């Protein structure tokens, strides 16, 4: 079963990837997204509707770092598919290879 947090993180990535701000963002800009992403993830985890993927071993900080890492990769290579992003959040493995 896919965790709600993985779905949330994937949705968050897709929202950012489709935004005009992302299209014009530099790698530095994307790094600057971290705090806002962290705040959104913490809010989602605190509302009680979701649990961190992989049980509680991943923190909001881990999730936010993964979102930023994926966004940075997407600026330098082809975007991975939705399934690849979701699988990556679920598995905790290395970044999806989208080339």
Domain of residue 85 covers: 4-91
Q: Does a structural domain hold residue 47?
A: yes
For the whole model, what pTM was predicted? Answer: 0.82
Total number of domains in the chain: 1
Q: Does a structural domain hold residue 96?
A: no
Choice between 25 and 44, residue whose per-residue pLDDT is larger: 25
Q: Does a structural domain hold residue 97?
A: no
pLDDT for the residue numbered 99: 46
Q: Does a structural domain hold residue 50?
A: yes
Q: Does a structural domain hold residue 80?
A: yes
In angstroms, the CA 62 to CA 6 distance is: 12
pLDDT tens digits for 44-87?
887 765 554 444 446 889 899 999 999 999 988 887 889 988 98
Query: Tell me, what DSSP letter sits at residue 22?
Result: H
Burial code of 31-49, b = ≥16 C-beta within 10 A, e = fewer? eebeeebbebbeebbeeee
């Amino acid at each position: 079963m896919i965790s709600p947090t993985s779905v949330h993180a994937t949705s968050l990535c897709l929202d950012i990837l489709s935004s005009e701000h992302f299209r014009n963002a530099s790698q530095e800009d994307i790094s600057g997204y971290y705090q806002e992403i962290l705040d959104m993830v913490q809010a989602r985890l605190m509302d009680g509707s979701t649990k961190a993927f992989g049980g509680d071993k991943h923190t909001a900080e881990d999730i936010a770092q993964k979102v930023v890492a994926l966004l940075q990769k997407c600026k330098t290579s082809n975007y991975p598919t939705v399934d690849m992003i979701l699988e990556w959040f679920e598995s905790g493995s290395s970044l999806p290879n989208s080339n």
